[in-house]
Amino acid sequence: METIELLREIEKLSPSEKLLIIEKTVHSLRLNELNSLSVAAEVLRDEYKTNRELIIFSSLDIEDFYEPR
């Protein structure tokens, strides 16, 4: 089904049915985003374990941070 056809069919739905479509679509988009982030994290995991340059500033994590005012 083409996008334009899909939009025409959506126009025929009740407001509650349209809302359901919106909710399901947003949920699907969020899942896709989470999956993409998980894949990216997995790809970079080994790089962060072996490349010291990527974690050089993590040694500062234990220091207190004071924002200048």
- 68 vs 61: which has the higher pLDDT: 68
Q: What is the pLDDT of residue 30?
A: 94
Q: How far are the Cα atoms of 3, 30, 37, 47 from residue 44, in angstroms, in the given order? A: 36, 21, 11, 5
pLDDT given for residue 52 in this prediction: 79
Please, what is the average pLDDT of the chain?
88
Angle at the Cα of 14 from the Cα atoms of 10 and 18, rounded to 5 degrees: 50
Q: Pick the more confident residue, 57 or 40.
A: 40
Whether 64 has a pLDDT exceeding 80, the answer reads no
pLDDT digit string, tens, across residues 34-48: 999 999 988 888 888
pTM: 0.55
CA–CA separation, 64 and 67 (whole Å): 10
